Amino acid sequence: MSEITAVPAAIEAFGDTAALMSAAVASAGSINAAANIAQMVPVFGLIGQEFLLAFAGAQASHLLGVGQLAAVHAGTAAAALATASEFTDTDDGAGREFTAIQSAL
C-alpha cells in the first residue's frame, strides 16, 4: 500500500488561486459585445457589413468559451476547497477517536 500525504492548507491555497483565476477570466470576458460592434459600424460602413457579421459571430463564440473557462476554474476551486475540508474533517475525527481510545486505556 502506498502512502499519500495531503496538506489541506496547500489544497486550500490552490482552490483560492483557482477562484481568483475564475474571477479574472470572467471579468475579462464580461465585455459588452453589442457596444463593441456598434462602435465598429461607422468605421466599416456598408462595405464592411459581412465582416462585422462574421466578427460578431466569432466574438460571441469567443465569449462563450471564456465563460466556460471561468466556470471550469470555479468548479476546480469548489472541488479543491471541499477536498481540503474533507481531509481536515477526517483527520480531526481520527484524532478524536485516537484520543478517546487512549483515554479509555
Residue type, 8: P
Q: Which contiguous run of DSSP H or E holds residue 45?
A: none
pLDDT digits (tens, 9 = 90+) for 8-46: 999 999 999 999 999 999 998 888 777 888 888 898 888
Would you list the domain boundaries of the chain? 9-99
According to the model, what pLDDT value does residue 46 have? 86
pLDDT(72) > 70 = yes
Q: What is the rounded distance in angstroms from the CA atom of residue 19 to the CA atom of residue 27?
A: 12
| pTM score | 0.78
Most confident of 31-35, 57-61, 77-81, 95-99: 77-81
Give 85 or 104, the one with higher predicted confidence: 85
Q: Compute the mean pLDDT over every residue in the chain, rounded to the nearest whole number.
A: 92
Angle between helices 33-44 and 49-104 (to 10 degrees): 160
